[in-house]
Structure 1
Amino acid sequence: MLKQAAWIAKRVDAKVGDYIGRLPRRRFAIEPVPPELAPFYTGGRGGPGIYLVNTYNLPSRPLYNLTALTLHESSPGHALQMPLAAEAQGLPEFRRYSYISAYGEGWALYSEYLGQEMGMYDTPYDRFGYLTYQMWRACRLVIDTGIHHKGWTREQAQAYLRDNTALSEHEVTTEVDRYIAWPGQALSYYLGELKIIELRHKAEAALGEKFDIRAFHDAILETGSVPLPVLEQRIARFIAEGGKSPWAQEASEQ
């Protein structure tokens, strides 16, 4: 499983420069989740310098979703976005090192979406994995609301996730426990992704042929971790400036 994750990450390396102008200097390692955490941990976790893959109970870890997981947790997801923010010397520290879930998880989920354009889901198996992940994130919106607003029981939440996703029984159990313990966080993924897609469509419509996907992604990533209304303001400025990369002047001086 680790070998397959590494192969997917290397395939991303060959493509990501076509979609993002500035890449972080820091590379990430791919390692298994520590054994003392693995039974209760998510399928993966990415961040500065690390992409953790959960290899506990391997029969419960289907390979069909590994491409989407790797895009989300490694590059262009968390293991790209977070070190890039940390390396941005012009940002205040709270934006370089803090984490606003709607921004961070929104970008990581958008990275799964971007995998379609990057040609990463090149088999029906991979495509199925991406779509099952989309279903899972949609179910989170229902389950989190059900638990924390409508009084759903743990068993109701598990049944809904079991009936409407391709998650294994082990994942159903650990995921619902996570939603119970962390109210609202599960909602941030889709809310953030939908906002980034909305802003991209807005920029594409406004800029027409001037729209540059690399410049747009650079504008998203150069902000560091910000609330979604602040991200909206940043992309409004990106459009007003004609869609220029935030690094355009720096590049011209080199």
Structure 2
Amino acid sequence: MTDPTKLAGVESSAINILKRAVELDQGRRFEEAVVCYQEGLQLLLDVMKGTPDKVKKEKYRDKIQEYMGRAEQLKEHVKVSKSEGKVHEQIQIDNDATGYSYSVIFSRFLDQFLTCIEIEDPYIRSTHQIYNLLRFCELVVKSAAPVTEIKLTTGRDDSADGQRQQQNKLRNLKTSLANHNVTLHVEYNDDLHDREIRFNNGWIVKIGRGLDMYKATENNFCIGFCDFDLRKCHKTTVDIFHKDYVSSASDSVT
């Protein structure tokens, strides 16, 4: 293809399709994004082949590699999600068991496609429960996941003074997370009973005791006070689903 007019037309089409691919990608419509990436890349490849300018060729080549890399990431993510979305995993944690830190339970869900986490837990009230939330947030901040939002729904403390302290502590956590470019949204619902953490890459984790699954240590200078891998747990069950599994299970019931 050497006709400059035709070449410009193909380039314009490639740019529009790749812009759409990026929009779909950002909107988490990954399968559609892959299709647009592939179509746009083919057109851009045709433009590169028909361009006599070596400098432009190199720029096109760089762009093609960039978009191709992203398309391959999305293809793999879609493939894995479809496979894992059929799975329901259950972990039984025995009384006094150790080795179940937040990192062990949650790290695998903190991937490059995660931007928002929703936590529903009626008991993020007392100091140690808010510390649990803080530790979970630290795990998120340390990870490579590009999380920008954490949404917490919890119940209010029983006393007026307790509510003030609860709100102050959560406000401090909100301020701290903002310094790491993460927005904490807090809502109160006194009728909340279920404990569930939803990751917007599709994963759903339900823990019988929520984030408050660890026993208190004898004192603040015991092994296990700082490291939750060494902290004894209450007996509880962890159910792990993918939203696709939940959808397919609902469909089969109806």
- Shared topology, TM-score over 0.5? no
Identify the TM-score tier after normalising by the shorter chain.
Answer: under 0.3
Write 1 or 2 for the structure with the bigger share of helix: 1
TM-score by length of 2: 0.26
More strand by share: 2
